Homo-oligomer: A and B are copies of this chain.
Amino acid sequence: MARGKLSDRQSRMVEFIHNFSRDNGYPPSIREIGEAVGISSTSVVNYNLNRLVEEGILDRDQNVSRGLRLTEKLARASDRLAEVIRVPLVGRIFASEPVLLPSTDSPMFGADEAIDIARGLLTEDDGLFALQVKGDSMIDAMVGDGDIVVMKRAPDWSNGDMVAVWLSDREETTLKYIYREGRKVRLQPANPTMGPIIIDDPRTLEVQGKVMLVVRRLN
């Protein structure tokens, strides 16, 4: 798509059409577009609309009032199916306690809160749950107080995953990158200035979930 070539007028037209359609439920007329972007002549609006059609940004229906719609990325409802995944917010995560895992059978049940995640941010959509971090104990994973961690129930992990682990001998939950190294396991903090933890006995380690996403809301 050769879209860097839009003139200032054309950009404003596209933006106006988008906003108008969103606000009113139907597209603007040629004269409404003209008034919005400061064009007195309907023929000029018509001319630029046809340019936008050539650019592939717009579709038009001839001889139909308001017969235009934006294409592609600003597309309409039909393309927007299942764009949002609702992930249940099942609890909080402390350093001092194991992760409270949701019951396997009905993940949505019992959670009164949930968080919406756009589908494009996730590679999978099954077995997901979210936890809110409490306290500053996960700072070495660059995860702070109040951050939301979206995890996937993943009994079997693979090298390089960031996981939530419960270390039974230390009685501690942490978020680390995990690597298998022979019989041992290496837990690597996300903060590159910090050193790894080597777990000699893998039985003291329980992987409770694979971190898929971290979200921090401000204000």
Contact = CB atoms under 8 A, between A and B. Distances in A.
Interface stretch (A39-47, A66-74, A93-101, A165-173): A66-74
Contact of A76 (B22, B66, B105): B22
Interface in A124-169: 136, 139, 142-144, 161-162
Contact of A218 (B86, B162, B218): B162
A219 B215 contact: no
Interface string A73-93: 111111111011010000000
Contacts of A21: 25
Contact of A217 (B8, B67, B213): B213
A22 B77 contact: yes
B214 A219 contact: no
Nearest to A144: B142
Contacts of A185: none
Contacts of A24: 61, 67, 69
Given A77-B25, A77-B76, A86-B73, A115 B105 contact: no
25 contacts: A14-B108, A15-B108, A18-B108, A22-B77, A24-B67, A25-B27, A25-B78, A26-B64, A26-B66, A66-B66, A73-B86, A73-B114, A76-B77, A80-B80, A83-B116, A84-B118, A115-B121, A123-B219, A136-B192, A142-B216, A144-B190, A162-B218, A213-B216, A213-B217, A215-B215
